[in-house]
Each structure stands twice: as structure tokens, then as C-alpha cells.
Structure 1
Amino acid sequence: MGEVNSDGSSEKSCDAAKSITPWQQMISSCSGAILTSFFVTPLDVVKIRLQAQKSPLQRGQCFLYCNGLMDHVCWCRNGNGNNNKPVHWYKRGLPQPFTGTLDAFIKISRQEGPASLWSGLPPTLVMAVPATVVYFTCYEQCRNKLGYSDGLQHGQWWKPMAAGVIARTWAVTMISPLEMVRTKMQSEQLSYTAVWQSVKKMVRQEGVLRLWMGLGPTLLRDVPFSALYWFGYESFRSMIQKIHGKTRINFWENFFAGAASGAIAGVITLPFDVIKTHRQIELGNLMSSAGKNQTSSTFRLIQGLYRQQGITSLFTGIVPRVIKVAPACAIMISSYEYIKSVFRERNRLTQQMLTI
């Protein structure tokens, strides 16, 4: 992610920024998002199947699909298996119930085929890949503009945090209207033409800001997480560089730095994640055809959780969050940095050939 002089001084990262183009950064982040989605999706598919086994999902009911890379509000549709009707992946039942996570992995793979573990992959790719491309490319461009060099020496600790905040805010704001349209399309099973007409009508009646419904709770969690994650990642990365006396770290060192920083940021921002989850489901019910009630404000939601369940309600689900977030961050950053290094080497060889 940039070069540093042997004496540790920061000659800015102008040369580093030129060593790889924005298009190559976009390809690297796109590849990382696809790999992350592929490896982490089975975890959430199994989780949802286990939850549906205990409490079957009814038509029109919404649930949150989150594989550690991005969240989606999904709606249950028809498909009960009678009269040769197809059964959606989240409602499939097996002759014998699952007894646990490992048992679910084995039974689903044996009886439905391994491909069933990636049933939730398409909606992730539709939204997570473009969001990740915007996010990672924007982060590096902002970080380079701020003059950050490898290592947190000379009071540069705030630069990764600032770049992460800017990048996440920009990415979430850009993708939010697309997510709202996708969610509305799925909930009401509308065609593209019908969705476009519905969106135009909604904008006329309620204003263009309606397209960003739910943006606040998303930013409430994702912006602090992004700031803490990039600070943690750059800190671990700088530490590893200092210990080994090198300017770049390898795939597994990036993997460790990504997992550790993701886990720490995930734990610290857990209350924001709990609020966002409740808010997403609430907004999802409002957008579905069955949703009739108006949603409460985020502040009232926090008050309600505190009154009903106490402060501990804001820290529920810590284990599942870390289990998904840590590997997702590790796979994303390590694959992203590896593919960038491939492009960097390719550019170097190309430059050498041109100078001969």
C-alpha cells in the first residue's frame, strides 16, 4: 500500500499511489469482495436455516441476511413444497432436523448438494461488490491524498481513520438508494418497470430523501467500525513491518492484521450493530406490503431496548458477529493486498521493458 524510505521518512505516497492505478485498485477490491462472499456466505446460509427450523419463516415476513461483508433485508415468499412448487432455500426442510452448525453443514451438503450452501450468494454480489469497490478505492485515494505513508510514525494515526470515515460515508451514501430499490423490488416482486414507476411516485410524494431511508442507522454502525478497523489494520501492519524490518508484509501477515482489527472493531461497535439490526428489520417491515406501522426513531429504539432488557441488550450476539466479521475482514484485505501486489509487480516489469 505504498513505499517508505529506508530511514523511515515519509516521501509521501505519491510514488506509491502511481505504482497502481485506480482501475487496478477497483479490480483488486472487486476480486476481494467476490472471494470474501464465496467463503463467508455458507456461514449465514446455515445460520438462517437453523433459525428457520426453530421458527418457520412465513410469507411476507422479513429477515436479515448478513455474511460479514454486507447486510440485506430479505422477504419470505411462497414455496411450501406442495404440488411440485419450488421451495426457497431459507424454507427447505430435511427429514432429520439439524442438531447444530456442523451437523447442518454436513446434512445440507449431503442431501441438497454443496451448491446449496451458497444459495444466498446472488443478493450479496449484487450489492456488496460495487459497494466494496467504491469503499476500498475511495479509502486508498483519500489516504494517499492525506499524505499517509506506511507506518504510523510522526503522528499519522488519524489519517487512516479519517480516510476510512470518508470512504465508508461515501460508499454507504452511494449504495443506499440502490439497496432501497432492490429491497422494494424483492418485497413486492415487482418488475423493473414497475419498480421505476413506484420509485418516481414515492419521490414525488415524499421527496428525494426517501431514497436514503435507513441511511442513519447504517452510518451509525459502519462509520465508527471503518475508523477503528483501518486504524487497527494500519497499526498491526506497521508493527509487523517494524518487527521484520520490511516495507511490505505477506499474505498471511495481512490476513492476521485484517482478522485482528476486524474482531476488535466488531466488538467495540457491537451496540451500534444491535441498533442497526433492529432498525433494518423495522424498516423492512415498513417497506413490505404487510408493513402498516410507522417506524420509531433510532433514539426511541435505543430507549426501548434499554428499558426492556437493560444495557446488556446492546451487547447481544457478540460471538456470531466476531465469527463472521473477523474472517470476512481477513479474507477481504489479504486477497485485496495480494492482487494489488500482482498488479504492482506487473507494472514494474512493464516500466522496465519500456525503459530498455
Structure 2
Amino acid sequence: MNPAAAVAGAQSAAVVPSASASATTASKAAQPARPLLRHVHYENLVAGMAGGVLSTLALHPLDLVKIRFAVNDGLALRPRYNGILHCLATIWKHEGLRGLYLGVTPNMWGAGASWGLYFFFYNAIKAYKTEDKVESLGATEHLVSAAEAGVMTLCITNPIWVTKTRLVLQYEAGIDSSKRQYQGMFDALIKIYKYEGIRGLYKGFVPGLFGTSHGALQFMAYEELKSKYNRYRNRPSDLKLSTLEYISMAALSKIFAVSATYPYQVVRARLQDQHNKYSGVVDVIQRTWRKEGVHGFYKGIVPNIIRVTPACCITFVVYEKVSQTLLGFKKND
């Protein structure tokens, strides 16, 4: 055999895999890179904010009542109320409409930001987890996704909730404006930071972390109810529902979540209250249990359910309709 031919043959053989490897590399390089923020949609943020703001405007007085009941630990300075209607009538009589809407500004900011960010993060996380998967997410995956979204949202919004609680608990503000400790949301933020530092703005953060279980349970129940309802009706699991169906799913999921997690809201409100001092979460739990028993951890739950159930329905229906509209526009462009 001619040595020169053998060498040439070997060289040509070596060239073939090299060319093949180059082609593979080139084809991989030719594939468009997936954008990092491909699952992030501002439409979810806008729709969630719209739902949160509208529901807050409609039902803020009941939120105020819930907080006043939740912190009612027997201090002499606190007003005495015999029930929801008596509380609303008393505030209206002594403080007028303005009294019923104490703290509404941070509540609107907080609810709008919280719902907007929650839907924003939740849908992005869920989309990442469902990418390249044939089956839809299960209950546990929905639960974890919602919990992750809740923690991210709380890190951003906790200072707003502290200011809302402080403003709502200015009992004499409607009678004598000179007795106000805080003149508004931004005044409260500045004063809390000035006198209590970052720690003051993040009071209630730890029970708030436990509170992410509330949103996680609610979103898990909401997703599972929608999916199982569609399967029961022999429809695709992700089919869009009617307004009444969205209202039903939202109400049932909210009542379930509130019943399971309400005590953390009492602990959080008491930590944020400027009229009493606690050393931490354990101190609140111990003192509440010692003085008020189990009942103490469920103070304000009735006005809370009366408020949050329609609020949740408004929020979810507005979110679903606005997001569908915005995403529809985007798809058509």
C-alpha cells in the first residue's frame, strides 16, 4: 500500500468528524438564545394592581374594623365596640367618613403593590416550572410557587403594611387632628425610619413570612378548584371561566386560606401597633394566650372574612379580565 495514500486517507478521515462537529456547533449557535425574562409579563403586574386598588377602595372600612378588633387586648385607651355594625356606626359618628378611611392610602399602595407583585412573580415562577413540561403543575408545585412569590412580595411591601396599621390605629385622629402622631403615609414612613430605623419598618415581618402560607394555600386551592372544575365539566384544564365561576373559585379558596392562617394576622397587627410593646413574636403569642386564650388569636376574623371574601372576588375577577385583555392585545400585535 502506498504510504502517501494511507496518510492522505487518514487525513481525509480526520477531516470528516471535524467538519461534522463544526456543523453541530454551528447549528447550536444558530439556535436563538432564550431571553432571560421570557416569562415576565408586565400585564400580570398591572392587572393585579388594578384588582387590589379597586377592592381596597370598596372595602377599606371593614379592614379598619378588623385591625381594631385584632389589637383589642384590653388596654384602657382603646375604644369599646360591641360588634361590626356598632364599630362602623361609632367611627362614623365620632370621626365621619374620614375616620372610616384612615390608612386608606398605604392600604391602596400596599394592596395594589402586593397583588400586582404577587401575580407578577407567581405567573413568572409558574411559567418557568411548566416550561418543557407536558403535564400541568400539581397542588404541591402551585403551593411552592405561591409561597416563593409571597416571600418576594413581602420583602418589598412590609414597610407599607406597617404604616397602614399605624394610621388605622390613630383612634383620636378623626376628632382632633392635632393628636395625630402621623399625618399620612409618607410622614409615617419617615418618622418610623427616623425613630425606629429599618427594624421599625419591618416589624411583623416574621409572622408575615408565616403569612405567605395564606397566599400559598389560597393560590393552590384556586388553581386546583379551577382545574378540577374544568375536568368535571369535561373541558381543558386551562380553559377560561365565566365571571361567576371566577367569583365562586376565589371565594371558596379565600375562606379556606383565612380559616387556616388567621392567627398570624393578629400576631402581626399587634407587633405593628404603636400602643403596645412586645419583644417579639413569641412574646405576642405568650401574652395573647395567657390573657385571652384561643379566642384572642381569632379576634376580628368575622369582619375579616366579610371583607376579604368580596375583596378577593373583586381582585381575582378584575385580574383575570384585565390580564386576558392586555395579553390578548399583546398577542395580536
Q: Place the TM-score, normalised by the shorter chain, in its bin.
A: 0.5 to 0.7
* Aligned-residue offset at 1:225: 0.3
- Aligned match for 1:307, one of 290, 301, 306: 290
TM-score between both structures, scaled by the size of structure 2: 0.66
Instruction: Provide runs of 4+ in structure 1 moved above 6 Å.
Output: 46-51, 97-100, 148-151, 181-187, 190-195
Counterpart secondary structure, 1:308:
helix
Spell out, residue by residue over 1:291-313, the C-alpha distance to the aligned partner (whole angstroms, 9 max, x if none). Answer: xxx52221132222223333343
Q: What's the RMSD between the two structures over aligned residues?
A: 4.4
- 2:316 corresponds to 1:322: no
Please point out which of 203, 222, 227 is paired with 2:216. Answer: 227
Partner of 2:145: 163
Write out per-residue CA displacement over residues 194-229 of structure 1, whole angstroms, 9 at most, x where no aligned residue. Answer: 9759836755xxxx5554232112222x21101110
Q: Judge conservation of contact 1:241–1:248 (CA < 8 Å) in 2.
A: no
Alpha-carbon distance between aligned partners in 2 of 1:318 and 1:190, rounded to the nearest angstrom: 29
Q: 1:23 aligns with which of 28, 42, 45?
A: 42
105, 117, 125: which one pairs with 1:134? Answer: 117
What is the rounded CA distance, in whole Å, between the counterparts of 2:249 and 2:181 in structure 1? 42
| Displacement after TM superposition at 1:35 (Å) | 1.4
Contact 2:63 2:304 in 1 (8 A): no
Structure 2 distance, partners of 1:146, 1:255, is 27
Q: Distance in 2 between matches of 1:172 and 1:250?
A: 31
Q: Which runs of 5+ in 1 are unaligned?
A: 1-13, 64-96, 287-293, 352-356
How far 1:275 sits from its partner (Å)?
Answer: 2.2
Corresponding residue number in structure 1 for 2:257: 265
Q: Contact 1:229/1:265 (CA < 8 Å) preserved in 2?
A: yes
Question: Comparing both structures, which one devotes a greater share of its residues to helix?
Answer: 2
- Correspondent of 2:54 among 27, 35, 40: 35
How far apart in 1 are the matches of 2:161 and 2:314? 24
1:241 to 230, 233, 241: 230
**137-146 or 238-247, which deviates more:** 238-247
C-alpha distance in structure 2 between counterparts of 1:104 and 1:305, whole Å = 25
Deviates more, 1:140-149 or 1:128-137: 140-149
Please tell me whether Structure 1 or Structure 2 has the larger radius of gyration of its CA atoms.
2
**Aligned equivalent of 1:216, options 206, 222, 235:** 206
Report if the CA contact (8 A) 2:51-2:315 is conserved: yes
Partner residue of 1:88? Answer: none
Corresponding residue to 2:267 among 266, 270, 275? 275
Contact 1:160-1:231 at 8 Å conserved across structures? yes
% identity of equivalent residues:
20
